[in-house]
Amino acid sequence: MDTEALEKMLARGQDNLLLRYGLGGEYARLRQYDKAIPHLQAAVAFDPHHAAAWKLLGRALTESGRPEEARQAYQQGIAAAEAGGHIQAAREMRVFLKRLDKSAG
């Protein structure tokens, strides 16, 4: 589904985790990270344990030149992933966090 159709669903009041994650993912796929960020922030507000949304939010923030916010997103994502038993997602976010720290230093 394209962003236009998803945006129409949101405009009709169908606001939920999957819609926001889908919109964020589509905008990220199109490399429109500034448009992806608010949707991904809404997704993690709906479900703070959604590790995939945290991971994508961290990436969007990184690509938007917002490393401090990205660092926080990855840290929260790691905690969410570990709490949910999503070891691979936690591992991936640790790698992204290390890369972020390396580029800052």
List the structure tokens of 96.
């992204």
pLDDT given at position 60: 98
pLDDT given at position 104: 77
Q: Under 8 Å CB-to-CB from 81, ≥6 apart: which residues?
A: 51, 54, 55, 87, 89, 90, 93
pLDDT given at position 1: 73
8-state DSSP, 89: H
pLDDT given at position 73: 98
What are the boundaries of each domain within the chain? 3-104
8-state DSSP, 30: T
User: Rounded to two decimals, what is the model's pTM?
Assistant: 0.93
Amino acid at 54: W
Element (H, E) at 44: helix 33-46
Amino acid at 92: E
pLDDT in tens, 8-18: 999 999 999 99
What CATH number does the domain located at 3-104 have? 1.25.40.10
**Spans of the chain, pLDDT less than 70:** none
